Structures are given as C-alpha cells and as structure tokens.
Structure 1
Amino acid sequence: MLITRRGLIGSVAAMAAMPAFAPVSALAAPCGPIVDAARRALAIHGAAAGARDVVGVADFSHASSDRRFHLVDMSNGRVSSFLVAHGRGSDPEHSGWLKRFSNDEGSSATSAGVYLTAGEYQGKHGRSMRLKGLDATNNNAEPRAVVVHGAWYVSPQILAEHGKLGRSEGCFAFSEIDLPGVLEQLGPGRLITAGKFS
C-alpha cells in the first residue's frame, strides 16, 4: 500500500482530533458522586485524618461484579477503581448485591459510614490493615475486626465462573493482586467512606 505525504499528514490530523481514551479505572465509576462522597467524608471527619490527599470510597449501590471501591486523588479528582466484596450478612441469598448494612456484632454484614485507616498487620488473610469506625453506624468496626485484606474469592476468575464475588464477614476484601496497591495508596491515617452513593 502506497502512503503519500499528504495522506500521512491527513491521518495524523485525524488521529489528533480523536478524543483521548480515559483509563479503564476512570471509566468504571460515575466520578461525580464518588468525588462528592470523598469530599463529604473529609468535611465531616477530616480532622481525624492524618492525610487528606487520598480518600477511599466504597459505593455499594453497585453489584459485586462492578469495580465499586474507588481511590480518589483529592488534588485532581482522579479515580482508580477496584473490585471489593461485601459482607455475607448484607447479602444472605448471595445475589451479588448488598441488601442491608449492619453495625451489629455477629452480623457478618458491611457497615456504612466513614472509617479511619490504621496500622498494617499480618493476619489469617496475610497482609491486612485495621480500621476504626468514626460514625454511629460503624463504630463497632474494631470489636468486629472489620479490616482491609486480600481474599481468593475476589478476582476476575471468580467473576468469570460465578458472575459475582464471594462474600466477606463484613471486611473490605480485595483481590490478592490489587491489595498491595490499595494498601500503599491508602496507608494509615486516611479515610474510607462506605455507603450507597450513585
């Protein structure tokens, strides 16, 4: 195929006029409600946070098959999105949808509210991060041992086989591949807000 100089220039101009593709993570979430939820969390509980640069937002208005945990860079509104499981007590029929929140001990449910990230430790799920619940709706997080950890039942493979993720005991369970990046971006002293935002 013969390409002329004029044809090459026309092709380059056409490509330059095409819109740039956003990263997949940026397409995974309705960014307006997610960034708004992060801002609300900081407005209410920012004084408790040692760092305000990144906020985690778990939007449980979506099914577990969606990337519904979002890390929001507060300096530019950029959002990175990940798979996350909800508690089995929030979805007793294992439909893949969170039906209810609970703060009750023994509920095995996900709790709504704002959390403060604390220190890391090695637990039964390996590398994990403790959380402190800052609201009346999640202030039992510590006695319930609601934490951030990795889990085999959160992965693209599980989605391909079952169409939904497995369920946690109320923890924020991530894929073992995503967990290191999530923990490094969050670190201790940052906020995570959980609820139904979109």
Structure 2
Amino acid sequence: MTDSLSRRQILRVAAGAALGGIASPLLAALPAGDPKALSGLIARANAALDRHGARVTVRDRFAVADFSAPSWLPRFHLVDRASGRVTPLLVAHGRGSDPAHSGWVRRLSNEPGSLASSAGAYLAGDAYVGKHGRSRRLIGLDPTNNNAEARAIVVHAAWYVGPGMVRDHGKLGRSEGCFAFSDTDLALVMDQLAPGTLLYADRA
C-alpha cells in the first residue's frame, strides 16, 4: 500500500502528522520537495510556540522557512493551525549562506556581518517603511538568531524574488540575511505575520 501512495497522498500524510492529524489541502499543490523535511519543521515550529509561551501572542497560525529546499521552490509556508491549510511562497536566503550562488543554503549564521540566514524562532515585530519599502521587523528568540535585530534581519520585498527570476535564472537572488519576498506576495506575508506571530526557519 505504501508503495502505491501518490506524491499528493504523501504530502497530505506528512502535513497531517505535523499538524496533529489535520490534513492540508494546499500542501498537495507544492512542487517537488521533501514533505518529511517540511513536516519536521512544522513540528519544531509547534514546539517553539510552546517553548516561547506568552511572547508569541498570535497562536492560530505561524510561518516556516524550509532552508533544506532550494530557492527556486516555494519554501516559505504560511500555516493555519486551525484548518491545517499551508500556503507556500518563494523566499530568498542570505548571500552569506550561499557564497557560490547555487540556490542552496550551505550554512546558517547568527554572526554580525555574515550576510547569512539564521536558524531559529523569530517573533514578528512592527511594520515600517525603509529602504526596501514596506517591511516588518523580526526579533530572534533563540541563541541561533538572537542577533536578528542588531543585524536588521527583516521581512521585505525584493526585485530578485519571483517566478520570473526562477524562469530566467533558475533560482532567486540573495538577500543579506533577510526574508525577501516578491512584491506580489509581500502584502499576504505582512498580513499573516502580524506582530506577535511566530516565524520558524531552519534546515531539516
């Protein structure tokens, strides 16, 4: 029976296991990737909600950045805990995480000046308008990302993120460690990552 499961069924099973048995209708639409890795990261995000307790005031949803996947796949996932719905989006990683610009995260770092993406749980902070336009501050909650504010690791839009970049270059451009999205997706991310929402990023 296991051998005959379709990829769609495997994705649903993985999502259901990670979300307490709730199947996800949108996970079935994900492109090639590793559903086991994503389900593991969703489980870690749920654990982070408990670990950071009252600091995370938004409890019905969170976001997961799966840096096990390459930049040409939608690897940033908005997770609705109540319905089990998972919405995948493209997101860039830091140039310090991928010096050769392969599209894959090779290292994660919390060091100032590393220009790398960092692993761990983040708390969404205030929105502001900066050099990248509308953006959202992020607060690193773990020892692996507690320099996020000092490093100005934020959510913002960037010209080098979007389906057109994947089509023309086979991968996204790189940030300086920020979570960079397409102009088209930014409004959704800013809305779903309201202040007090958890964002969990790591590799499986």
- Given candidates 171, 174, 179, the residue that maps to 1:167 is 174
C-alpha displacement of 1:36: 1.4
Find the residue that maps to 1:161 and give its secondary structure: helix
Contact 2:65-2:199 at 8 Å conserved across structures: yes
- Within a 5 Å distance, the mapping from 1:127-146 to structure 2 comes to 127-146=134-153
State how far apart, in whole Å, the 2-side matches of 1:26 and 1:182 are.
Answer: 21
Contact 1:26-1:79 at 8 Å conserved across structures: no
Give deviations 1:70-101, integer Å, cap 9, x for gaps.
01111122110100000000000000000000
State how far apart, in whole Å, the 1-side matches of 2:176 and 2:87 are.
Answer: 25
- Corresponding residue for residue 81 of structure 2: 74
State how far apart, in whole Å, the 1-side matches of 2:42 and 2:176 are.
Answer: 27
Contact 2:27-2:85 at 8 Å conserved across structures: no
Distance 1:159 1:23, change over 3 A: farther
* Runs of at least 5 residues in structure 1 that lack an aligned partner in the other structure: 1-18
- Corresponding residue for residue 64 of structure 2: 57
Contact 2:41-2:202 at 8 Å conserved across structures: no
- Within a 5 Å distance, the mapping from 1:32-47 to structure 2 comes to 32-47=39-54
> What TM-score do you get using the length of structure 1 for normalisation?
0.85
Distance 1:99 1:59, change over 3 A: same
State how far apart, in whole Å, the 2-side matches of 1:47 and 1:182 are.
Answer: 22
Q: More deviation in 25-34 or 67-76?
A: 25-34
Moved over 6 A (4+): none
> What TM-score do you get using the length of structure 2 for normalisation?
0.82
- Corresponding residue for residue 29 of structure 2: 27
- Corresponding residue for residue 115 of structure 1: 122
**What's the Cα RMSD here?**
1.7
- Paired residue type of 1:125: H
Distance 1:37 1:139, change over 3 A: same
C-alpha displacement of 1:34: 4.3
Give deviations 1:29-83, integer Å, cap 9, x for gaps.
6263343133122121232111111111000000000100001111122110100
C-alpha displacement of 1:23: 6.0
- Corresponding residue for residue 200 of structure 2: 193
